[in-house]
Amino acid sequence: MFIVKFNISPTNKASLISSCAASAKGLKPGTYDLWLIASLKSDNNNKISIPLGQLTDAGEQQFHLRSQSNRSATQDLAVKHVVITADKQDPFKQTLLIGSPSLFQNVFYRDQYG
């Protein structure tokens, strides 16, 4: 069984920093990367990948990631999903796990920060 939890959000509406927290359970020991797959809000057809960082092995098949980024780098993007890949693999070709925001998360994010 695999469980992936992911959250990326501005600290508040005025914040220039976005925080990212992710955890995955059920992966075999190894090195994994987390990617954000998004498109420009003005062009929904072209998907881009943004590396968020490497998941840290916390033992017992659990991995975690915490990072911060400049909000301006992602504010014009519509989040499609997050992808976990093996170390340094192309997220469009070598995907291990995919997580998508729910409809309610999409609506909330668009209304609050979009």
Q: Which tops the pLDDT comparison, 6 or 90?
A: 90
Percent with pLDDT over 70 in the chain: 78
Domain 3-113 indexed as CATH 2.60.40: yes
pLDDT for res 87: 94
Across 4-8, 24-28, 64-68, 87-91, which has the greatest mean pLDDT?
Answer: 87-91
Write the pLDDT tens digit of every residue in 49-86.
Answer: 989 899 999 998 899 998 877 777 777 778 888 899 99
Task: Report how far apart the first and last C-alpha atoms of the chain are (Å, whole number).
Answer: 34
pLDDT for res 10: 59
What's the rounded Cα separation, in Å, for the pair 51 and 22?
Answer: 13
pLDDT for res 68: 79
Average pLDDT for residues 8-28, to the nearest whole number? 73
Q: Which tops the pLDDT comparison, 20 or 36?
A: 36
Residue 61 backbone class (left: φ over 0; alpha: ψ -120 to 50; beta: rest): left
- 14 DSSP β-pair partners: none
Q: How many CB atoms sit inside 10 A of residue 72's CB?
A: 10
Domain boundaries, the chain: 3-113
Q: How far is CA 6 from CA 43, 46, 52, 95, 101, in A?
A: 24, 23, 11, 16, 9
Q: Which tops the pLDDT comparison, 37 or 17?
A: 37
Query: Is there a contact between 75 and 8 (Cβ–Cβ < 8 Å)?
Result: no
